[in-house]
Amino acid sequence: MKNIDALKKEDMNLADKIYIFDTTLRDGEQTPGVALTVDEKIQIAQKLNNLGVDKIEVGFPASSNGEIESAKKINSLNLDSTLVGLARSLERDIDAVIDSDLSYVHTFIGTSPLHRDYKLKMSRQTVIETAVNAVEYAKDHGLTVEFSAEDATRTERDFLFDVFTSVVDAGADFLDVPDTVGVLTPVFTRELITDIRNNFSTPISVHFHNDFGLATANSLTAIECGANQAHVTVNGLGERTGNCSLEELVITLKVAYGIDLGLDTTRLYSLSHLVGRFTGVKMPVNKPIVGDNAFAHESGIHVHGILNNANTYEPMSPELVGHSRRIVLGKHTGANALRSKLKQYHIDLNEDQFCKVFDEIKSLGDSGKCVTDDDLIAIATIELGSARETPIIIKGLSLSSGANVSPTATVKLEIDGVEKETASTGVGPVDAALNAIRNLIQDSIDVELEEYNLEAITGGTDALAEVFVISSDSHGNKSTGRSTNQDIVMASILAVLDSINKLLLIQRS
């Protein structure tokens, strides 16, 4: 049997250069319910550029003035990534790409019988003429042209090749193969891309949707068969079930295939979170690479292995993608995991105390409860017989806001037994309250709020708000804070204080 390293490159027909074409800002924004502001698009484009993607599809300029505005603003940043605008095979759409100051157009037309007969109501000949006109028009205006045969994977092969031959003759620089409704499998992908590769020397791109959950597998197969480029989105966002996921493709190429595309993969996790926050589409905990559980371990056997050598139960290090490892406590927890957690919080227990805490964690787990770090600290400190005081407690809050006045929050805290009060303004009541807290605690601890996530967990105007934060101190310690409350400001304050109190406990132990 061949070993996996021997199989890697020798059995593949890899292109010399593989381009990553990110379409989070275009197909990703077509995720039902998602709409990004110009400022959010700019921030995402900057992060994609810092990650090192080759191309960023910034939008569909003909669809709105906002799309033209955001494309222009992103263009003015002079990023290293090439910026792309989408256009139907229409002169006015291509004009909108030119008006957006972009020099690379991604133009498309439906080629399958379904698209020709029911959407476009065009004959095969008219589809070819329309595509060729668009490519010629764009080339005449000095654009780089990527041509997509929409629904290529349900297009008759002879007609697909006629379309590709015609647009290549018209000057197309890239031929894109969209699996518009995600019907490919790896075996079909291999056959299709090999056939195209054998018949065309123009660079081939693939744009695969995820309806069967195979977009990443199919994109990898296409790359194995010589595709020069894959369209991807952050978190696999996109129409319906989305597109091939950027993080999955890039990391699988790097770790499983040994193909390093030169991207700074340590930025993947924070990019995923930013996009999750802006789009409101949160990743499931088990999402590969960036999900909360991607590097989380609970079972005793696994944690034991991880603590000795992380490779035992991780295919790569969390640092590679900017994530972090998490040991979770619960019914499967082993003694090693508990000892490592207690060490993290600098809690020293004797053997007897340790056994009692261990039993309590197990019985909480057996009763179906997920044991948080807070629970552990509480149980362990009670067991120590010296329940530590919570260093900072909220004692009072009053808010004022309205039209034409700056939102102001007055916050009273008890810090190590001493009451302090101050008022601050902010862009909203939450911001004002957090500013007041920052002022009050500055003599006790130097804290940075790294992440703030607010979610309504029930519906209606009396919905429960859940706030999750990550804070860090100047010693590099990090802590999470969580709180649920009907009042958004209170939930925010309690979550932030929760994380600050944990940092203080770490610093003082």
Contacting positions for Zn ion (CB under 5 A):
27
Q: How far apart are CA 205 and CA 135, in angstroms?
A: 16
Choose among Zn ion, ligand KIV, none what residue 24 binds, the Cβ cut-off being 5 to 8 Å by kind.
none
Q: How far is the CB of 62 from Zn ion (least distance, A)?
A: 16
Interface mask toward ligand KIV for 160-179; x: CB under 6 A: ------------------x-
Q: Which of 260, 239, 230, 499 is nearest to 391 (CA)?
A: 499
| 150: partner contacted, choices ligand KIV, Zn ion, none (Cβ within 5-8 A by kind) | ligand KIV
- Supply 384's token pair: 């120590």
Q: Give residue 127's identity as a one-letter amino acid code.
A: V
Q: How far is the CB of 180 from ligand KIV (least distance, A)?
A: 4
The answer to whether the Cα torsion of 40, 46, 52, 54 is positive or negative is positive
Q: How far is the CB of 436 from ligand KIV (least distance, A)?
A: 47
- Complete DSSP assignment for 356-404: HHHHHHHHHHHTT--B-HHHHHHHHHHHTT--PPPSEEEEEEEEEEETT
Report the distance separating Cα 335 and Cα 316, nearest Å: 25
- Is 116 or 209 the residue whose CB approaches ligand KIV more closely? 209
Q: Of 406, 407, 366, 51, which Cα lies nearest the Cα of 233?
A: 51
Q: SS3 for 115?
A: helix
Write down the residue that tokens 């020099």 correspond to.
103
Question: How big is the chain, counted in residues?
Answer: 509
Per-residue binder mask for ligand KIV (CB under 6 A), 27-46, x = binder: x-------------------
Q: Smallest distance from the beta carbon of 430 to ligand KIV, in angstroms? A: 37
- Which residue in 19, 21, 104, 108 binds ligand KIV (CB under 6 A)? 108
Here the tokens at position 61 are: 């300029």
Does position 473 interact with ligand KIV (CB under 6 A)? The reply is no
Min CB(229)–ligand KIV separation in Å: 13
Please, which residue, 93 or 383, has the CB nearer to ligand KIV? 93
**Per rule CB under 6 A, is residue 180 in the interface with ligand KIV?**
yes
Residue 40 binds what, of Zn ion, ligand KIV, none (CB under 5 to 8 Å, by partner type)? none
Which of Zn ion, ligand KIV, none sits in contact with 148, Cβ below 5 to 8 A by type? ligand KIV
- 466's contact among ligand KIV, Zn ion, none, with CB below 5 to 8 A by partner kind, is none
Count of chain residues binding ligand KIV (CB under 6 A): 8
Q: Shortest Cβ distance from residue 238 to Zn ion (Å)?
A: 6
Q: Which long-range contacts (CB under 8 A, 24 or more apart) does 461-470 make?
A: 462/486, 465/491, 466/491, 467/491, 467/492, 467/494, 467/495, 468/495, 469/495, 469/496, 469/498, 469/499, 470/499
Interface residue with ligand KIV among 29, 150, 383, 473 (CB under 6 A) is 150
Site string for ligand KIV, 8-27 (x = CB under 6 A): -------------------x
Task: Please state at what angle helix 124-140 crosses helix 157-169, rounded to 10 degrees.
Answer: 30
Q: Ramachandran region of residue 258, left (φ > 0), alpha (ψ -120 to 50) or beta?
A: left
| Cβ-Cβ contacts under 8 Å for 475 (sequence gap 6 or more) | 507
Which is closer to Zn ion, CB of 108 or CB of 278? 108
Q: Fill in the per-residue mask, 438 to 457: x = in contact with ligand KIV (CB under 6 A), - = not in contact.
A: --------------------
Interacting partner of 153 out of ligand KIV, Zn ion, none (Cβ under 5 to 8 A depending on kind): none
* Partner interacting with residue 28 (select from ligand KIV, Zn ion, none; CB below 5-8 Å by kind): none
d(CA 377, CA 389): 12
Q: Which is nearer to ligand KIV, 109 or 489 (CB)?
A: 109
Contact assessment for residue 271 and residue 242, using Cβ atoms and an 8 Å cutoff: no
Contact flag: residue 207 with ligand KIV (CB under 6 A): yes
Choice from 24, 49, 148, 435 touching ligand KIV (CB under 6 A): 148
Q: Which CA distances in Å does 488 have to 34, 43, 281, 282, 427?
A: 23, 26, 20, 19, 15
Nearer to ligand KIV, 115 or 254 (CB): 115
How many other CB atoms are there within 10 angstroms of residue 239's CB atom? 17
Which residue number, 27 or 67, has a Cβ lying nearer to ligand KIV? 27
- Residue 89 sits at φ, ψ, to 5 deg, of -80, 65
- In the complex with Zn ion, the residue whose CB is nearer, 265 or 279, is 279
Nearer to Zn ion, 27 or 29 (CB): 27
Half-sphere exposure (CA, 13 Å, Cβ side) for 196?
33
Rounded to a whole number of angstroms, the minimum distance from the CB of residue 89 to ligand KIV is 11
Nearer to ligand KIV, 205 or 499 (CB): 205
Q: Residues of 484-508 as b/e, b for ≥16 C-beta within 10 angstroms? A: bbeebbbbbbbbbbbbbbbbbbbee
Residue 383 partner contact from Zn ion, ligand KIV, none using kind-dependent CB cut-offs of 5 to 8 Å: none
DSSP string covering 30-44: GSTT----HHHHHHH
CB of 85 to ligand KIV, least distance (A): 12
Measured from the CB atom, the residue of 89 and 480 that comes closer to ligand KIV is 89
Query: Closer to Zn ion at the Cβ: 207 or 331?
Result: 207
Q: Which stretches of the chain bind ligand KIV, using CB under 6 A?
A: 27, 108, 148, 150, 178, 180, 207, 209
